[in-house]
Amino acid sequence: MRRIDLPFQDLTTASFSLHIKGKCNNFGLNKEPLKSSMIDALIAGRLFGIAEERSGHAGSAYVTCKVRAATDDGELIICNVIAFNDKVRNTLLALHDGDSLSLSGALTPKVWTDKQGKTRPALDLVAHTVITMHSNTPDQE
């Protein structure tokens, strides 16, 4: 697999190919808007704020948090994280603001527009595994 740098400046008109597990996926060809696609990802950064535990309509527990990660050019990007696995949830809840961590899971790239009208990248991650200095968690059982 080869590395690809995503053009975060304008994902809405991006045109690139991404090779995942031997298959070539084309995104945003012909200047069409980038469609939501899940990517198996590994991100590393620092917890931004604290993790919060919540409950779904059926009473199922989950944890949400934000992770601040650096891009290759040194800019920071916020990744919105949600975790359903008990071990991953407990690990995230034990962390403090600014703690280093790595997460793997299903990543969805998105775009949002700030108040000045500038498009910005956004990342949503459904975390399956978390690695910290304090503990490691295996994939969902």
Ordered structural domains, the chain, with CATH: 37-132 (2.40.50.140)
Classify 87 as helix, strand or coil. Answer: helix
pLDDT at residue 122 in the model: 87
Can you read off the two tokens belonging to residue 20?
């995942």
Contacts of 15 (CB under 8 A, 6+ apart): 27, 28, 29, 30, 31
pLDDT at residue 6 in the model: 47
pLDDT tens figures, 2-45: 344 444 443 333 333 333 333 344 444 333 444 556 799 999 99
